[in-house]
Structure 1
Amino acid sequence: MNKTKKLIFQSAIKIFSESGYRGATMDEIALNAGLAKGTLYYHFKSKEEIFNFIVEEGLQILENQVVEVQNTSIGPIEKLIRICRIQLTFLYGYTDFFKIVMSQLWGTERRQNELRQKIRKYIYEIEINIKIAMENGLIEKGDIELMAFEFFGSLCSSAIYESIRIEKIDLENIIESTIKFTLNGLGINYKEVNYNDK
């Protein structure tokens, strides 16, 4: 991502998270980025194009880290634990981005349908590990797709907790507590899992 696109990326996240998709304008994004309106239009023809760009780039950051974990030789439970850590660290590091994604998951407009497909692709990576763990008898048999969505959803819920609380949160405590809760939901005793990722 070049310098100008990075400015647009950061500005658009701020404006979309503060004003919502409907309230955000190209003028606001350009002004906040310190760019001439013409420069913004040179890179992006519309607000929707900018929205798709920030979603694509933001989710790619997350997905790249998850793919790295998938390419390691550790077991499926350990991979799920690492994915928990990655997703939670990402959600707390990019809170405004998370707000945008959550606000646009519902609806029937094209950008919303495309966003759901991108999220679905990410959740598939979680599904892979749940399926392997199930095949190896590490997780009780069940609906793999539903479990993957529940896994993803429980991690998102902890980010909502942070956004509502006024007091400063301890990220490491949140991560540990959420991992434990999420794994327990899959029938895995977190204390009994041996992993070495700290």
Structure 2
Amino acid sequence: MKTIAKQPEDIIQDTKKYITDTARRLFSEFSYLGVSMNDIAKRLNITKAALYYHFTGKAEIYKKVLDEVFDDLSFSIAQASNETAADEKLRKLIKNYLDFGFQEKNLIKALMLKLSPADNQITKHITQLREQIACLIQPIIEKVLASKKSVEKTDAKLLTSLLTSLMDGLLLEYSFLNKKIDSAKISDQIIAVLFS
């Protein structure tokens, strides 16, 4: 059997992936503000110079990590679309969002932090990613509203913002209190309060 040697570009991509995976764990554990390039280099057992060879700085690594996190969250939300009933789609969406957010608690917390003006690009990037998530959630909310004949009197975009803010707030609260989240129970309660 003939093996094909990896090309230098493949090795660089593998290294970048290893760096971002490690940084993701650090950011999830300590948040963006609690991690330095030195921390990442130490965890990887490499020099900071080697780290800077692959990334221009912590902000670039963080943006890459955020892209991966939001891709994973988008996938988790999209799984809710597999349900047939509108209420079940919403229930699964909320449950998946909360489960994902609990797993990545400090990354979710970071989305609510006020970053310094120097981190303006990260703030803009987070805003774009959050808008993409809202675009995945809003159609599910619209289907629930349509099934309840509430379309004319309820603003789906506002309700989407309210729902994501509520879920983020719950995740922040449970993380702060270091409590496990019962996503199934909470999703039922959110639906009862907001959509009944």
Q: Tell me which interval the TM-score lies in, with the shorter structure as reference length.
A: 0.7 to 0.9
The percent of aligned pairs where both chains have the same amino acid is: 19
State the 1:82 CA deviation: 0.7
Q: Identify unmatched segments of 5+ residues in structure 1.
A: 189-198
Aligned residues: 182
1:123 pairs with 120, 123, 134, which one? 134
Please state if 1:62 is matched with 2:70.
Answer: no
1:77 is aligned to 87
Give the aligned residue type for 1:146. L
Q: TM-score, normalized by length of structure 1?
A: 0.77
CA contact (8 A) 2:20 2:64 kept: no
* 1:100-123 C-alpha deviation (Å, 9 max, x unpaired): 222258968121012111011101
State the 1:73 CA deviation: 5.2
* 1:52-89 C-alpha deviation (Å, 9 max, x unpaired): 0111011111111222332x251222111111111111
Q: TM-score, normalized by length of structure 2?
A: 0.78
1:103 is aligned to 113
CA contact (8 A) 1:30 1:40 kept: yes
CA contact (8 A) 1:8 1:40 kept: no
1:155 pairs with 158, 161, 167, which one? 167
2:18 is aligned to 6
* 1:139-184 C-alpha deviation (Å, 9 max, x unpaired): 4631111100111111112212222225x43x3xx21332123212
Q: Identify unmatched segments of 5+ residues in structure 2.
A: 1-12
CA contact (8 A) 2:23 2:65 kept: no
CA contact (8 A) 1:106 1:112 kept: no
Query: SS state of the match for residue 109, structure 1?
Result: helix
Give me the CA root mean square deviation: 2.7
